[in-house]
Amino acid sequence: MRIDIVTIFPEFFDVLDLSLLGKARQSGLIELGVHNLRDHTHDRHRTVDDTPYGGGAGMVMKPEPWGDALDAIFGEPAPVSSEADAAPGPILIFPSPAGEQFTQAMARELSEQPHLVFACGRYEGIDQRVVDHFATRGEVRLVSLGDYVLNGGEVAVMAMIEAVGRLIPGVVGNPESLVEESHEGGLLEYPSYTKPSSWRGLDVPPVLLSGNHGAISAWRRAQQLERTRRVRPDLLPPAV
């Protein structure tokens, strides 16, 4: 998969050199391009924002640098007559608290795409015409990490890339570890334990030491249900 990110803080994404995603980049499973929006400004101050039309607090990101930065990734707009022949391009994602909610299902869907482009807004957001223009050229999605407001899209994009990247076949060594996780299969994950069997007076549940695989599976399933009922009843199907 190819991932491009446009941001005014490219250094923010240096951490994508680390850990599983870093390895996935080294092995070529993920190809990453991080682009500085300010490289697409044409004034001495490398200005990316301006005051909002209609008034109000904060600043809005100007359309021209965004248009140029995204054209550099997507290619120049095709002449109208050749649009029908164009191969489907990348999916363009704008992280935004006004977007649809990011979920594990969305992470899985995005992990099957060949090319994602993330446009990290700051301040009060990006001029709406950038979204509207690129929506005429391909698939555009506004995606929210959750019902809270971050200072910009970078943290949200980091989270999305981690959630998407680990679902790309080969990125996580043991694919079975993806199957039993929270949000795969609708229930929260069961609690996990490792050695020693007793620590600070707390013992590992004896069933896990029993070697009885049927009993272990039943215990884990019961733990998943109990946990989900207690902290996330909204995830339970109506009949459970």
Q: Is residue 153 a contact residue for ligand ADE (CB under 6 A)?
A: yes
Query: Could you say whether residue 7 binds ligand ADE (CB under 6 A)?
Result: no
Determine if residue 187 is labeled as part of a ligand binding site.
no
Please, which of residues 190-219 interact with ligand ADE by CB under 6 A? Answer: none
67 in a labelled binding site: no
Contacts 24+ apart (CB under 8 A), 157-160: 157/5, 157/7, 157/93, 157/95, 157/118, 157/120, 158/12, 158/13, 158/15, 158/16, 159/102, 160/93, 160/95, 160/102, 160/107, 160/110, 160/118
Q: What SS3 state is found at 62? A: coil
Name which of 29 and 150 has its Cβ closer to ligand ADE: 150
Q: How far is the CB of 219 from ligand ADE (least distance, A)?
A: 36
Can you tell me the distance from the alpha carbon of 178 to that of 171, in angstroms, rounded to the nearest whole number? 11
Pick the piece of the chain touching ligand ADE (CB under 6 A) from 5-13, 70-78, 94-102, 215-223.
Answer: 94-102
What tokens does 38 get? 């300010």
| Radius of gyration, alpha carbons of the chain | 22
Chain Cα centroid distance, residue 227: 25
- Is 166 in contact with 178 (CB distance < 8 Å)? yes
Which residue, 7 or 96, is less far from ligand ADE as judged by CB? Answer: 96
> Could you count the other beta carbons within 10 Å of the beta carbon of residue 190?
18
Does position 98 interact with ligand ADE (CB under 6 A)? The reply is no
Residue 148 in the binding site for ligand ADE (CB under 6 A): yes
Does 9 help bind ligand ADE (rule: CB under 6 A)? no
Annotated binding-site residue? 121: yes
- The verdict on 146 binding ligand ADE (CB under 6 A) reads yes
Contact track, ligand ADE, 48-87, x by CB under 6 A: ----------------------------------------
Interface residue with ligand ADE among 36, 111, 113, 144 (CB under 6 A) is 144
Sequence ranges of the binding site: 121, 145-150
Residue ranges binding ligand ADE (CB under 6 A): 95-97, 144-146, 148-150, 153, 156
| Residues that constitute the known binding site for S-adenosyl-L-methionine | 121, 145-150
